[in-house]
Structure 1
Amino acid sequence: MSMQLRHAFDSEKLVSCLNDAIIIGHVSYSTAKVWVRSKHRGKHYIVLSDTPIQPDEINIDASDTYSALQIGFSKVSSVTLDDTTDRTDCVEFQNLQPSTRYWVALIADRSVPARRQWRSGYEIPATFKTQQTNAKSLVFGFFSCHDPYKKGHGPEDIFLDIHNRLNELNGDFVIAGGDQVYVDSSTKEFDVWRWVTNNKEQLKPYFEAQDQAGLIKALSYFYRFIYRLYWQSAHFQKLVRSFPTYMIWDDHEIMDGWGSLTEDELSDKLDTLFEWEDSEFNLFIAHAMFHAAAQVYHEYQHSHNPTTPTLPHTSLANSQWDYSFTHNLASFYVLDQRGHHKFQNPAGYDLLGSSQFSRLSHWFENIPSTAKAIFIVSPVPVVHWSCTVVNMADLGSYKDDFRDEWDHEANHQERNELLDLAFNASQKHQIPVVFLSGDVHCAASFKLKRRSNSGTVYQFTASGVTRKPAPFVSKAISCAKGALSGCDVLTTFERLAFGTQNNFGIMKLFVEGEQTHLVAEHISTTDEEDETLIKQVRLV
């Protein structure tokens, strides 16, 4: 079956969207992932150089472009970009030198009908440095919740602030901790789910033919448009082409509160006003939308993370989006809280799923002795809101948001097991465990302790990089100190910092002699766009 959906996004020419782009992905001592997108279909080349790229010195007009590039660059990889992946691709370069800076460019083959062959990396540099084998310091950035179309949003200049702060501190990489796009934007013309709800008649032929693959293919167009729209910012592009960038999705790459609704509640989301429709039809659409969201998430985000056995084009049941990576001073695990999130999951582990939790447990058993800190990216914070608010709000319109929370009573057992892993690892290795989170549109730091355990666990949240921050009342329902509810072992927390401005975070870990220091920075923008406020929190 084949049909062409007509929708609001057909007027893409009316808005500015991403065309040519480079993202530096996972970088180790000897490897680097490089993601690219071109405006044009066809054969392209991704080139790597150990010196700044000078386009005038490379003869790409030669009849054999590939041979010419091999002479001019350290490494060359050819890719064929087409519409099956929205003209994106990601390659991994091998056998690089440690602690070495490289420059990257994207070049179109002569067969591509483009006015210029140099597509990206030739005017504004794209560059990265491989890891240092004996590094004594680690500096990385963290941000989440990018929505420049929300009323009252913050300026996209904040991505330049992240870039400049990392540059100033000789930063290593940046982590994007969720909601890098909002497919259910509050701006109605960019809300995928709103369009589907209002135009379900166009989707009925797919349902009648049970052509889920065809519907996924059609819906992927919507999701790709949102990525191109949200990521076109010059400041965002400068950041992700200047520092290795690790990403993980949260609910807004799919829909608000994905995984926190029952099947009946999910069906209700797609009912139109005054019309309760066939739930089988609604769920057919909803599950196709999740598949489309997952496919496009893989294309734009996950493909440049450390490689996992994700199968975006086949069964999602066994797909893995959680991953780990290492630095000389620290171990990182990035949790996926959406791909297998299922409220009231009969198998338990509603937030992570049993397979992911098993992988995480095994990873905790193999922390290297050289690690000075453990960082766990949890898109939703382990501690933030008052547990009373979280569980009472389950009855109202915010139930999906609060069911996402680790402190919701439905998630207590899973959270307790997670904290057991964290505290035991901290005690065993005598190093801090830090949860890095977004989601809540506030900046916050918490310290967690247990009487029966010498380990120390921290919660660091940087959220609302451009998304409108939560109102000041958020501080009133975020407890300053107390004990976590539903814990088998008394676990106390103390708030160290809090903020409700647009913000991002910086983490600084360094060794001086026998001393290890860990300092967190909450960096927020003020009403004056050319000013930033830095609040430092010493963790170790």
Structure 2
Amino acid sequence: MVSLLRGIAATSSATIRFFAFVLLRWIPGWPFAPIVFTSLVIYLSSILSLVKDEPPSGDRPRKDGKTSTKRAHVSSASESCDSALKTLLTGLPSKRSPVWTWITALINIVVSCLALDFLVRGLVVFPSNEVTFSRIGYVSPTTANLVFREPDTAQLPVVVSYQEASHEPNKWVQEGTVYMLNNSTDFTKTVKFQNLKPGTHYRYRLSNNKTGSFVTAPRPGSREASRMSFVTSSCLKPNFPYNILSHPLRVPGIEIMTEALAKLPELLKPSFMLFLGDFIYIDVPFRFGASMNHYRSEYRRIYSSPSWAFTSKNSTAIDLPWIHSLDDHEIENDWSKGNKTAPYPAAADPFIHYHVSANPPVPAKPFAHPDDVTYFSFVNGPASFFMLDTRTYRSEPSQTNSTILGYAQLQSLLEYLATPEPAGVHWKIVSSSVPFTKNWHVGTTDTWGGFLNERRSVFEAMWRAERELGIRIILLSGDRHEFAATRFPDPALELTSEELQPNTPGLGVHEFSVGPLSMFYLPIRSYRQTDTEDVAVKYAPDGNSKFGLIDIAEAIDEVDASVRNSVLTYSLYVGGEVVWKYQLSVPAQRKNTTKVHPAGHVLEDRLLSWDGPLKMAFGSLSDVVELGIKKATWVYEEALSRLRSTGRLG
């Protein structure tokens, strides 16, 4: 019985420490916290039983059943040290020193308390019902969307004003007055600044003492409109990796990004953040509810993070305009049940009030009522954008008629791809919350890899647009907590096998998938090329904070000086540092376009890792194990079905 209790104590102690580490530093998955707390109860119960049943350290049972108080003569300092170390490492009680027994028990209690702190401190200490904030969303050449929250009725009415940053401090223009805010919108309101000047720096202020600044987009067709920069990423979770000394709502990735962007020259400063989903994690590490208020409270907590006030070289995080796409963790992991099934309606409410209301306009041809549309389209400088919603309208993946976009959104996207762009616009940028590539071999069906028929239709429209319209198409995505660049060559190009090898730059529609901005990453490699449809260009999985900076500018062609190109440079940042750069180009004059655009090429690559092959092999092994489990399950179910059909199994 004692040996069994010792085995239980050692196992539960190891379980507490391992899964607490996983939860706090590796991946805050939902099962890990319950495992830690359950193991703690088991551990404390077993160790208390062991201590209670253990005879005093000096007592020795004799053959006649009596007890001897004579101590073992060979007890030494080295043995005591070994016993203490064993107790600390295994969690087992020590016969020689009860002090070490309670110390190792205390370690397990403290570790479990850290897990509890990560789970509930932000929830309990910062309920965020009273949070106030203001931020800028979509900015056009003449307008800017401002969303703010003010739950204090004593602050009403809220007067919203703006001025050019170069004007006198007392020269303000009143945009509007908000007389009422209530719970129907969670006390939020969106105000549109109108009649602004293109390419101009503005300040704004609210009568509740909220202030900020923004820069309008350049006038279409102007010289300034030939250049623009923006950043993109996805996935953020406060205080992860966990730090007990950190504010529970601090988002390290926002601060890392703000500091990195502040170092850029003025020409490269981004105009906005294109955030591709998982702004909240309602179900990570634990879902506390699925009501509308639970979803609202998660948005409020993110917007009450002190990281938004982080300032570096006069650049404040909250002053960068953010536009948003929806992904699964704003609803439920791997969501594919449409927009009518619970909890989608509850999840959509705060997404609409906090994000959709300040997002770009819906496409000119949405093929649905505009009020029911959560996909967006706009033009900024040399690029037009189409922001997909890959969650609201999707059906179950890997079916004959599976759709990731729904009929209306698919038609709107195809219309967008087939529409010529005005002069000066050379790039069509399509964003998706999940990757287009099927090169990720874990969770493939949650990506476009689960909707291959629809993906093929979209790709054919993209290849046709590049051939016929003289523009170039770029795909941006997130979700995977890793970075990967992939190209999808047009079959009409008839590329050689050498041009389709993995890890090669070259021709084709390019996708850049990046994340997380502030979340976990996995050391197991799951991305690799397995065919010639999805050609791997670069894979960079490591890093808790990753984002991409996209800069588009005109430049003289390196071969023909009489030709000007629009050049797109993608810079990957990991931990606030540039680690990889890639460049694509398209002739700026449509008359100079050809059916084949120039191949992409790498400008900089600092991503060399000694353990890459090992991690890739481990990732492949995990795929084999997963395939084996699926195969065994299929065999079992097939055998069960046959037994039932023969009547041998009731």
Say yes or no: TM over 0.5. Answer: yes
Specify which of 311, 327, 330 is matched with residue 253 of structure 1: 330
CA distance in 2, matches of 1:16, 1:131: 40
Amino acid at match of 1:75: Q
Provide the residue aligned with 2:458 in structure 1. Answer: 418
Change (3 A) 1:492 1:499: closer
What per-residue deviation string (whole Å, max 9, x for no partner) do you get for residues 128-152 of structure 1? 3333431221111001001125555
* One of 397, 403, 412 as aligned partner of 2:445: 403
Shift of 1:293: 0.7
The one of 67, 92, 95 equivalent to 2:195 is 95
Q: Map 1:106-125 to 2 at 5 A.
A: 106-108=206-208, 118=209, 120-121=210-211, 125=212
Q: Point out the more displaced range, 237-246 or 441-450.
A: 237-246
1:27 aligns with 2:139: yes
Q: Give the unaligned 5+ runs of structure 2.
A: 1-118, 244-250, 311-315, 495-506, 557-563, 586-650
1:336 aligns with 2:450: no
| Backbone CA RMSD of aligned residues | 3.1
User: SS at 1:413's partner residue?
Assistant: helix
Within a 5 Å distance, the mapping from 1:33-112 to structure 2 comes to 33-41=145-153, 42-51=156-165, 72-79=171-178, 80-108=180-208
Match of 1:325 in 2: 378
Counterpart in 2 of 1:235? 307
User: What secondary structure, in the 3-state scheme, does the structure 2 residue paired with 1:463 have?
Assistant: coil
Secondary structure of 2:449's counterpart equals coil
Q: Say whether 1:447 aligns with 2:487.
A: yes
**Structure 1 residue 367, shift from structure 2 partner:** 3.2
2:321 counterpart residue number = 244
User: How many aligned residue pairs are there?
Assistant: 421
Contact (CA 8 Å) 2:429, 2:476: kept in 1 or not? yes
State how far apart, in whole Å, the 2-side matches of 1:288 and 1:364 are: 33
1:482 partner SS: coil
Change (3 A) 1:288 1:243: same
Q: Deviation string for 1:194-223 (max 9, x for gaps)? A: x45xxxxxxxxxxxxxxxxxxxxxx22111
Deviation at 1:163, TM superposition (A): 4.2
Give the aligned partner of residue 148 of structure 1. Answer: 238
Deviations 1:417-440 (A, max 9, x none): 111121111222333211111000
Provide the C-alpha distance between the structure 2 equivalents of 1:347 and 1:33, rounded to a whole number of angstroms: 41
In the alignment, what sits opposite 1:14?
125
Query: SS state of the match for residue 103, structure 1?
Result: strand
State the secondary structure of the residue aligned to 1:257.
Answer: coil
SS in 1 for 2:372: coil
SS of 2:395's partner is coil
Question: Which of 320, 326, 347 does residue 293 from structure 1 map onto?
Answer: 347
| 2:267 matches 1:177 | no
Q: Give me the TM-score of the superposition, normalised by structure 1.
A: 0.71
- Please give the residue correspondences for 1:140-539 in structure 2 after superposition, counting only pairs within 5 Å: 140-151=230-241, 155-156=252-253, 157-161=255-259, 163-164=261-262, 168=266, 169-186=268-285, 188=286, 191-192=287-288, 195=289, 219-236=291-308, 241-259=318-336, 287-308=341-362, 319-343=372-396, 348-370=401-423, 371-383=425-437, 385-386=439-440, 389=441, 401-408=443-450, 411-453=451-493, 456-471=508-523, 473-474=524-525, 477-480=526-529, 482-483=531-532, 491-501=533-543, 502-513=545-556, 514-525=564-575, 532-539=577-584
d(CA) in 1 for partners of 2:265 and 2:127? 28
Relative to structure 1, is the Cα distance of residues 167 and 247 closer, same or farther in structure 2, using a 3 angstrom cutoff?
farther
Give the TM-score taking structure 2 as reference length.
0.60
Q: Over alpha carbons, which structure has the higher Rg?
A: 2
- 2:388 and 2:333 mapped to 1: Cα distance? 18
Q: Whole-Å Cα distance in 1 between the matches of residues 420 and 162 of structure 2?
A: 33
Unaligned runs of 5+ in 1: 1-7, 59-71, 109-117, 197-218, 262-282, 310-314, 391-400, 484-490, 526-530
Query: Does the C-alpha gap of structure 1 residues 497 and 344 become closer, same or farther in structure 2, counting only changes over 3 Å?
Result: closer
8 Å Cα contact 1:433/1:456 also seen in 2:
no
Report the CA distance between 1:316 and its aligned residue: 10
Distance in 1 separating the partners of 2:166 and 2:306: 20
CA offsets per residue over residues 330-378 of structure 1, 9 Å max, x none?
A: 1100000111112169994521101110111111122314321111001
2:16 aligns with: none
Structure 1 residues 453 and 94: CA distance shift in structure 2, 3 A: farther
1:126 is the counterpart of 2:179: no
1:447 to 1:347, Cα distance in 2 relative to 1, 3 A? closer
Residues 167 and 32 (structure 1), Cα distance of their counterparts in 2 relative to 1, 3 Å cut? farther
Q: 1:136 aligns with which of 226, 246, 254?
A: 226
Deviations 1:159-215 (A, max 9, x none): 4235425675232221011111111121x3xx24xx45xxxxxxxxxxxxxxxxxxx
**Could you tell me how far apart the structure 2 residues matched to 1:492 and 1:350 are?**
20
Question: 1:242 & 1:444 partners in 2: Cα distance?
Answer: 29
Shift of 1:233: 2.5
Query: Would you tell me which structure has more strand in proportion to its own residues?
Result: 1
Identity of aligned residues (%): 22
1:384, distance to aligned residue in structure 2 (A): 5.1
As a proportion of its length, which structure holds more helix? Answer: 2
Q: Distance in 1 between matches of 2:362 and 2:120?
A: 32
**2:206 partner letter:** L
Distance in 2 between residues matched to 1:432 and 1:354, nearest whole Å: 25
The offset of 1:94, in angstroms, is 1.8
Structure number with higher relative contact order (C-alpha < 8 Å, ≥ 6 residues apart): 1
SS at match of 2:300: helix
8 Å Cα contact 2:323/2:358 also seen in 1: yes
For residue 507 of structure 1, report the CA deviation from its aligned partner: 0.5
- SS at structure 1 position matched to 2:148: strand
CA displacement 1:276-318 (0-9 Å, x = unmatched)? xxxxxxx9xx934210111110011111012349xxxxx9997
Contact 1:9 1:222 in 2 (8 A): no
The answer as to whether partners of 2:252 and 2:307 remain within 8 angstroms in 1 is no
